[in-house]
Amino acid sequence: MYTVTILNNGEWVAPGTVIYLHAFGRHDPVKIVQNFFLVQGRGHTILIDTGIDNLEGYLTEEQIRRCVSAPSRTTEALLRQAGVAPEDVDTLILTHLHFDHYINARLFPNARIILNRREWLYVLMPENKRYAPRVGFPREAFGWLANEAWERLELVDGEVEVLPGIRVIWTGGHSPGHQMVTVETAQGIVIIPGDEIYMYENLEADIPIGYYYNFENVVAAMDLIRGMDAIVLPAHDPKVHELYPSSKIG
């Protein structure tokens, strides 16, 4: 069994058309948070996605004034607060290669790094440059994965149990090689859906996300999440912190 700790870099804002499919008419900016997840148990220290530092640097002053109530926290500071040094992390699972989920991968010198094969290949192929422009897909971390972290990089396909009680499941809706993660805890199964849903409302009101690669796979992922009857921890919904004020499950 594992415990899952929700780490939150802080508050952020996203266009409504990213969070909700355009046709539903929810276009106003949406206040979001930037969560990533520390999983501990069975002698392992596992991180799911990397968080991102200096969230304010990605916002306008107007957005900061309207949406941000406290300064953002760095990934390293959050980990140290939880009693974990970056070098302690033995497994880093990346749900997908969008910058807010991978950009801090370089903090972890000892982790095996688990990534879907399709996700890795897709962002590296020059013919996909219109999918992965530099601004949203900073390549320094890709270079690091292909160089310093090469021996530790594990590409997976489909559904794989990466450690006993921890599975990655390819979903491929939000991005080509997007994967969700499930974790067995004393409170039941936890699903970390990555960005297949941004908000609980995507599931509850049945509104798919607006930023997707394959729409049918987004809808299939929503059905899969719903069918699992598990604790769902979205990466960007502030409501996670109301539902789990201790930030700990298991």
20-39 positions binding Zn ion, by CB under 5 A: none
CB of 195 to Zn ion, least distance (A): 4
Residue count, binding to Zn ion (CB under 5 A): 2
**Quick check: 237 binds Zn ion (CB under 5 A)?**
no
For Zn ion, the closer CB: 99 or 144: 99
Q: How far is the CB of 18 from Zn ion (least distance, A)?
A: 9
- Range 152-156, long-range pairs (CB < 8 A, 24+ positions): 152/110, 152/111, 152/112, 152/113, 153/113, 153/115, 153/120, 154/112, 154/113, 154/114, 154/115, 155/115, 155/116, 155/117, 155/120, 156/114, 156/115, 156/116, 156/117
Residue 43 beta carbon to Zn ion: minimum distance, rounded to whole angstroms: 31
Residues in 149-178 at the binding interface with Zn ion, rule: CB under 5 A: none
The contact pattern for Zn ion, residues 186-205, with x = CB under 5 A and - = no contact, is ---------x----------
The nearest distance, CB 165 to Zn ion, in angstroms, is 25
- Helix ranges restricted to H, the chain: 16-19, 61-67, 75-81, 99-102, 117-124, 140-146, 200-204, 215-227, 239-243
Question: Which 81-110 residues touch Zn ion, going by CB under 5 A?
Answer: 98
- Residues within the interface to Zn ion (CB under 5 A): 98, 195
